[in-house]
Amino acid sequence: MKKLFLVFAILLLFLWVKPISAIECDGNPPSGADKVTEIQQYIDNCNQKISSLQGEQTTLKQTISTLTSKINLAQGQINQTQAQINLLEKEVTVLDGVLDTVNDSMDQLEKIYTARVRESYRRSRATPVDLLFSTNSIGDYFNKLKYLNTVKNKDQLILAELEKSRVDYDQRKTDKVTKQKEVEKLKAKLVSQRKTLDAQQKEKQNLLTQTQNDEKKFQSLLSKARAELEAIEAVIAGKGTETEVRDVKAGEKIATVIQGSSCNSSGSHLHFIVGQDHSVKNPFNYLKSVDFENCSGSSCGSGDGDSFNPSGSWDWPLNPRIKLSQGFGVTWAINNTWVRSIYSFHNGIDIISNSADVKAVRDGKLFRGSYSGSGGCALKYVRVAHSEDGIDTYYLHVNYY
């Protein structure tokens, strides 16, 4: 009976004792150089949570939860980098001490070796005949000869130890330089990670400010974004209502950017698209280098924004200086904001300029168009059908000229 009771008690213990759970992506991440494994586990869990949440961003709560997880992830990465820096700096400090010790050892060995060299040099001038006549007996002669050989062997050992110390010193010095370079790289990485954290925190705050933590306002925001996407895709597919206007030349004014908010746009900007056969192409492959400011990331000039790498020959549709607010393809906004729940690929570029004049980038035929979709308003645009290369360029959120 006692044995049965003991087995029963152990089973109850296993049932009631809560197992140690993994470090979840909630609250503050672990920190400290002694918690590298825990930090990595926290980061992995954050990535898993973000991946699962990104497919569910249909409510404000889920979107805020995703942004919170990204903030936690960024903080976890910062803690991980800081822990690596702390470990390396400790290793550099240890290496400093080792280098000092090895250097002192080398100094002592050099002094001993120098003294031994002088003594060996003095003794080397004595010939075997001199040694023989300076001894009292054959036994004394062999003892002195043995002593000289012993001294010679010790000299060789000191020389070998000195060379070993020098090699060790060089290696330790190389290790120190390598680790110091790693520390500098990690510090630069830390700066970038902190910018990412700041951007995530600002985005979360902006979303809360826009919606005032109100689900209805958030759904209205989503509806407007979906309506814009629907309208733009319809225009590219040729579903807009268009009127042919005239032939135009490259550089000729064809429209003006609408100032302020308008249909499917929350603020002044030109959405510029390059298309062919109802599919989009990267505008940067056609536009030439220009004076610009990149504001497509966490802030203007932050360095974390979308690529701005024009390599073509076209003049820009707006006068320089160009301000990029969103690039082409998988953009910073898609990776870091709620727009990911609307689209996963940006089909053009969003740009701003001090001038509202919109100009044709190539010779062609000008069309004025609009599309009225589920948003309940008419998105206005102009299209230029190029006369040379079979490409169409679209200029959205504009007034006709």
Encode pLDDT of 243-265 as tens digits.
999 999 999 999 999 998 888 88
> What's the mean per-residue pLDDT of the chain?
83
Per-residue model confidence (pLDDT) at position 56: 63
Q: What is the mean pLDDT of residues 137-156?
A: 64
Per-residue model confidence (pLDDT) at position 222: 87
What lies within 8 Å, CB to CB, of 365 at 6+ separation is 244, 245, 246, 247, 248, 384, 385, 387
pTM, 2 dp: 0.65
Please check the confidence at residue 2 and state whether its pLDDT lies above 50: no
- What is the per-residue pLDDT across 13-64, written as a single tens digit (0 to 9) for each? 444 444 434 578 877 888 887 788 888 888 888 888 887 776 665 789 988 8
Per-residue model confidence (pLDDT) at position 292: 96
Per-residue model confidence (pLDDT) at position 122: 55
Per-residue model confidence (pLDDT) at position 7: 42
Q: What's the angle, vertex CA 204, arms to CA 202 and CA 210, rounded to 5?
A: 95
Per-residue model confidence (pLDDT) at position 13: 41
Q: What is the mean pLDDT of residues 195-216?
A: 89
Confidence of residue 146 (pLDDT cuts 50, 70, 90): low
Please check the confidence at residue 107 and state whether its pLDDT lies above 50: yes
Per-residue model confidence (pLDDT) at position 314: 97
Per-residue model confidence (pLDDT) at position 223: 86
Please check the confidence at residue 271 and state whether its pLDDT lies above 50: yes
Q: What is the mean pLDDT of residues 175-188?
A: 90
Please check the confidence at residue 383 and state whether its pLDDT lies above 50: yes
Confidence of residue 130 (pLDDT cuts 50, 70, 90): low
What lies within 8 Å, CB to CB, of 353 at 6+ separation is 257, 270, 318, 319, 320, 321, 322, 323
Confidence of residue 3 (pLDDT cuts 50, 70, 90): very low
Per-residue model confidence (pLDDT) at position 264: 81
- Give the rounded percent of residues in the chain with a pLDDT score beyond 70: 78
Give the residue, 259 or 158, on which the prediction is more confident.
259
Q: What is the mean pLDDT of residues 277-293?
A: 96
Confidence of residue 302 (pLDDT cuts 50, 70, 90): confident
Per-residue model confidence (pLDDT) at position 149: 66
Confidence of residue 326 (pLDDT cuts 50, 70, 90): very high
